[in-house]
Chains A and B, each alone.
Chain A
Amino acid sequence: MIELERVSVSHGGARVVDSVSFAVERGTWTCLLGPNGAGKSTLLRAIAGLVRASGTIRVDGTPLGVLDRRELARRVAVVPQLPQLPPALTVEEYVLLGRTPYLSYLGSESSHDHAAARRAVERLDLRRFAARRLGALSGGERQRAVLARALAQEAPTLLLDEPTTALDAGRQQDVLELVDELRLESGLTVLSAMHDLTLAGQYAQRLVLLTGGRVAADGGPDEVLTEALVAEHYGASVRIVGGAVIPVRR
């Protein structure tokens, strides 16, 4: 569960996130929407403790400031927009790095850590790729490897920043279905930032629309995905048909 109270992030004098408050209930999927530069990624990074934020961020009831880096990493796993995948590392080695928050500064993995990494590899159907180098994977397989690494972290909260960038339509669905299965299986709390409004409405129970760092709309898909709101905040003319956001020529 994530609770945000008047969270602000400043970047070189500019407020990129401006007094944002909302909460993500345990086991639910909330999606951050908004045009480029709305502050979606910055807000995710603030929750992951990667940028300094004012206001209060609580993860499972504990304020961020109280948690040290490793404790936070055991509660929140992050899938970044463009993960760096060292191409010569094998899938196995890469997923095992997800166990880092459980190891002491100079410690090494126990058999328990190896087992957790193996479970993550198997859950994402990567067993036959385990010994393969990351550079030899396709885009979809790569994204599965990143998810496996996040899953090996065994954190109850998953932050996804544009998890489907650079994937084709089929692979986008694969990834989102997978995240939703994981959420239902193990009660993961999911907060994602997404550009595709239709997909966001299909997978998230709740949408938070940001513009200029502020919450412009917050509610279920049918409350947020309206022709008026999309026109106002994205400057796009669209028609909404059965939950699908269809662009229409101006």
Chain B
Amino acid sequence: MSAVAVVLRLARPRRRVPLWGAAAVALLLGSLLLGALVGPAQLGVGAVLRSLVAHAGLPVASHLSATDDAILWQIRLPRVVLGALVGAILATAGASYQGVFRNPLADPYLLGVAAGAGLGATLAVAYAPARELLPPAAFAGGMVAVGLTYLVGRSAGGDRSGTTFVLAGVTVVSFFTALQTFVQQQHSDTLQQVYSWILGSLPSSGWRDVWLLLPYAGFALAALLAHRRLLDVLSLGDEEAASLGVDVGRVRLVVVVAATVGTAGAVAVSGLIGFVGIVVPHALRLVVGPSYRVLLPLSIVVGAAFLVLADVVARTALSPAELPIGVVTAFCGAPFFAVVLRTSRKLTG
């Protein structure tokens, strides 16, 4: 029996849920502050805190110079907030996909969002050199791919079983990846740009991307949170959930649409950031158990903190050069993924 399994067997973690919730919020606040502090220009903790309070409208004078103030408010904070939003979406979407497909290894890119967004981004880079077109093209590509997955899965009679949709996703991913490679071969000069987008990175483009993502994030997170109890019912299997009065097909559709819209929005602004949707929910399951009532709210908070911290590492590890954040999350995520694989039977049976 592995150490993780022993913890699973012995832990009676439910009573400590408020404690873990408080710890998660503290972690998020700490990582947001760290994200605002770390960078080439030294701003100082006190000055940053004063500036934050001053901007909140309280009668405190900010000690930051105009330049430093701009660095904090136009460069660092938008990036930190964007990272938090993307992390929250990816972690919550991952947890929801795992619930709705009862597959512990499902991730936010399962149904082809990533492959579709990749194709959209490649087309945008190859045929429309304006950088502004990449996010909408990626979003559109992601939604088209998931729509196709849905149609293929449905035509194969998958309106009841989640597995059919997962297989349909695999089919669509292969097809879109082939298309993307084909387009790339035709435009090898743009390879580098597409490549760096695929690795995932948080842009330092001010608040614009935050405003762009906010409606998708708001819709996705609110809809998924609202379904947290129904995700618990779904863990009993389709037939038992139905015998408890739940319209399984409808719940699955709404959850998948919400998670997909959020993911497509996140992918459009930040590229493909892998493993967040696997690492965060599974780490939380080990600590607070599998119930989605606790898991989804905590995934929002801890997912946000995880990505902000990963971005801090991405910015500092090779400073002044920047590491793609997708590399950082994969670097922590892949070993963890191996552990999850070993214990996944015990986690979900």
Contacts and interface: CB of A to CB of B under 8 A. Distances in A.
Interface string B224-254: 0011011011011101111111110000000
Interface string B155-191: 0000000000000000000000000000000000000
Given A80-B239, A93-B291, A106 B244 contact: no
B287 to A, nearest CB: 12
Interface stretch (B7-15, B35-43, B74-82, B269-277): B7-15
A88 B12 CA distance: 10
Nearest to B254: A105
B210 to A, nearest CB: 28
Interface stretch (A65-73, A176-184, A222-230): A65-73
A86 interface: yes
B349 A86 contact: yes
Nearest to A136: B9
A231 interface: no
B226 to A, nearest CB: 5
Contacts, number: 89
B157 to A, nearest CB: 12
B112 to A, nearest CB: 27
B50 interface: no
Given A69-B242, A88-B347, A83 B247 contact: no
A41 to B, nearest CB: 11
A24 interface: no
Contacts of B226: 106
Interface residues of A, number: 37
Interface in A26-48: 45, 48
Contacts of B63: none
Interface in A97-143: 97-98, 100-101, 103, 105-106, 108, 131-133, 135-136
A85 interface: yes
A97 B245 contact: no
B290 A70 contact: no
A74 interface: yes
Interface string B272-294: 00000000000001000111000
Nearest to B289: A88
Given A73-B245, A100-B245, A106-B227, A83 B14 contact: no
A69 B247 contact: yes
Contact of A88 (B241, B242, B290): B290
Most chain B CB atoms below 10 A, which of A48, A72, A100, A106:
A100
A232 to B, nearest CB: 33
A152 to B, nearest CB: 10
A87 B243 contact: no
Interface string B130-160: 0000000000000000000000000000000
Contact of A135 (B227, B232, B349): B349
Contacts of A53: none
B contact residues, range:
20 to 34
B342 interface: no
Most chain B CB atoms below 10 A, which of A71, A98, A135:
A135
B55 interface: no
B242 to A, nearest CB: 6
A158 to B, nearest CB: 12
Interface string A198-242: 000000000000000000000000000000000000000000000
A186 interface: no
Nearest to A74: B245
A153 B245 CA distance: 11
B290 A89 contact: yes
Contacts of B205: none
Contacts of B348: 86-88
Contact of B243 (A48, A106, A131): A48
Interface string A146-160: 000000010000000
Interface in B1-43: 8-9, 12, 14-15
Nearest to B241: A100
Given A131-B14, A136-B9, A86 B235 contact: yes
Given A73-B245, A100-B246, A78 B235 contact: no
Nearest to B347: A88
B9 A89 contact: no
Contacts of A100: 233, 241, 244-246
A106 B229 CA distance: 8
A93 B245 contact: no
A45 B239 CA distance: 9
A99 to B, nearest CB: 9
Contact of B244 (A73, A93, A105, A132): A73
Given A84-B237, A89-B290, A135-B346, 8 more contacts: A72-B245, A74-B245, A78-B240, A84-B240, A88-B348, A100-B241, A105-B230, A133-B9
Interface of B: 8-9, 12, 14-15, 226-227, 229-230, 232-233, 235-237, 239-247, 285, 289-291, 346-349
26 contacts: A48-B243, A49-B243, A50-B242, A50-B243, A70-B245, A72-B245, A78-B240, A78-B243, A80-B243, A84-B240, A84-B349, A86-B236, A86-B348, A87-B348, A87-B349, A88-B289, A88-B348, A89-B235, A90-B14, A90-B289, A97-B232, A100-B241, A131-B14, A131-B15, A133-B8, A133-B9
Nearest first, the 10 A-B pairs at minimum CB distance are: A73-B245, A70-B245, A101-B245, A84-B237, A100-B244, A78-B243, A88-B290, A87-B349, A86-B235, A106-B226
